[in-house]
A and B are shown apart, each in its own frame.
Chain A
């Protein structure tokens, strides 16, 4: 097969200058869609992609490394837009575990809810979740930004190393456990803080950061409503007299 375009144009792809390139996962295997997004998308600069009938399939649009708008018309399974680079991915539904995991750049937006480990270990880019996020949102975060319109589950931002998480709703248990340099902003209630996480005063820079991230996500809140959670840095080095678990 020379090209996905050649093989499936008649059935699933409508490619002309005015219309987006459309894939129907009810007819086209995911492997072909992802291969197109990796190997052939550069031949279609300026075109947007629309993926129909995702029906909770896993690994949709993983590993895209191109400036392209991708719209997924429904719910996604695990790892949607995993390791995304440059692309803007819109999920018009709920997202399964690990949405935008290890994202490097670009933007992934979930119109509904996100399951566990949303944005795990993301190194860059922006993840916007309009609904709630499950457990471990932003776990191991390494520089990406996450904005959650609703609440997040327990152990969110566990061992988060860098980046920012804005939570417009409430946070579950053990928020920010073993944080490194990542910073969390919470508007609602915090059920409990994790080990070495502490609430700190907001600075002018924090207000500006939250304002900018809220604007990018198009959420109508004021940065004045948020509190800052960051690492107390007491676990950075062993101290026998502090009864640390190490």
Chain B
């Protein structure tokens, strides 16, 4: 190098199309010949409930005293045909997550927490565990395409039945559970060999299409003597028509899961590129119910990226009857925490995160079964890192916090019942959110495209 010339500066101009993330993706694909499979939900920025705000009360609306005046959160689901609808104390439920993706300790913790706060838990793509049934007062039993562990005995002891058509993280895809999580108990419940890479079916084995679904729903009703509410869960995609078909098929409750919904293991390309945001899905679902004059007759449960009491309040204001939370519940349990708690003491988990090539705040390695905090694992040692009592307390706290936030907002909007929140209470902060939610842009009467 000629010392008389200034050194050439290193160019830092990054390509928009081929940034470091994209370069890493292509190089990984070239090295391994397999797409990425991971946990968590969509990471991309999406129009969401954060892009809405409540107007609150002032001269045109009277607020309620925040800590003195009652604000009901009671929620009833399944009033259309079932003789025993689900009665909940709060409109926040725990979403379906499988035993297999989650440990038995976690399922027990969820049941305990839900029972204490008066809400429901939901089984998943691995059947019902005894721990879950014992700990959860109100348990929704999923009927999935795989039918792993599905049986009439558990059906009869469930409080409601949820027919899963799709999941927000992967509408059109089946479940994945990689070999390292198929331990002997999981294998037995699913009738699978231990240690294989399990790929669930994406379609039900005994029906196709909504006309068949009508008969399938009738079968489940006949089998349970018309007692239990039947939910139909769809991943958000063509939501307006899907909700109409589900209602036409005879659902008591429709669950719509937006693309922010979490997963224990799904192809990244699926998570990030298939489905529509929850915000757009809620509006379409409500419009479908209104179009059929079924609002209030068929209940709507919304899930996919519900994290805070504000998210709950916004979903209810847009027309949902309840919400369902998965990923937020796992984070409440300790997902992505630096430590785990055993016998009252905190223990560092940083080395275990590092061994997975990640760190707290960035971990999406649910699919590996090596969860550093013992949430998404079947490893007998790692499982001990989540004590059911500790997990139950944390989930209970989280749900109570959300419910208090929800009633805080409802009172501020002058509502004695959280189900009285309405679209008129909301405005949008961005054009995208205004268009998707079909709400006016804040400070205007303008709804884009309307």
Contacts and interface: CB of A to CB of B under 8 A. Distances in A.
Chain B binds chain A: yes
B269 interface: no
B197 A82 contact: no
Contact of B206 (A34, A117, A159, A246): A117
B147 A30 contact: no
A236 B193 contact: yes
A136 B223 CA distance: 23
Interface in A4-60: 30-31, 34-35, 38-39, 58-59
B196 interface: yes
A140 B215 contact: no
B206 A79 contact: yes
B223 A62 contact: yes
Interface stretch (A67-75, A97-105, A125-133): A97-105
A121 B152 contact: no
Contacts of A101: 205-206
B65 interface: no
B152 A140 contact: no
B3 interface: no
Contacts of A98: 206-207
Contacts of B33: 240-241
B179 interface: yes
Nearest to B267: A246
A237 B193 CA distance: 12
Contacts of A65: 152-153
Contacts, number: 110
B225 interface: yes
B151 interface: yes
B32 interface: yes
Contact of A82 (B193, B196, B223, B225): B223
B147 A237 contact: no
Interface majority SS (helix, strand, loop, mixed), chain B: loop
Contacts of B196: 180, 236-237
B337 interface: no
Contacts of B206: 79, 97-98, 101-102, 117, 120-121, 139
B16 to A, nearest CB: 30
A63 B191 contact: no
Contact of B207 (A31, A59, A63, A97): A97
Interface majority SS (helix, strand, loop, mixed), chain A: loop
B222 A63 contact: yes
B147 A77 contact: no
A102 B155 CA distance: 12
Given A31-B226, A180-B193, A117 B205 contact: yes
Nearest to A63: B223
Interface in A84-131: 85, 97-98, 101-102, 104, 117, 120-121, 123
A185 interface: no
A149 interface: no
A246 B197 CA distance: 10
Contacts of A62: 219, 222-223
A237 B201 CA distance: 16
Contacts of A97: 206-207, 212
A166 B326 CA distance: 43
A228 interface: no
Interface string B185-205: 000001111001101010001
A-B complex: 4 closest residue pairs judged by Cβ atoms? A240-B33, A63-B223, A98-B206, A120-B205
Given A58-B215, A59-B218, 12 more contacts: A31-B225, A58-B218, A63-B156, A65-B152, A83-B223, A102-B151, A102-B206, A120-B147, A159-B201, A161-B191, A178-B199, A236-B196
10 contacts: A35-B225, A38-B223, A59-B219, A78-B207, A78-B219, A79-B216, A83-B151, A85-B152, A140-B146, A237-B197
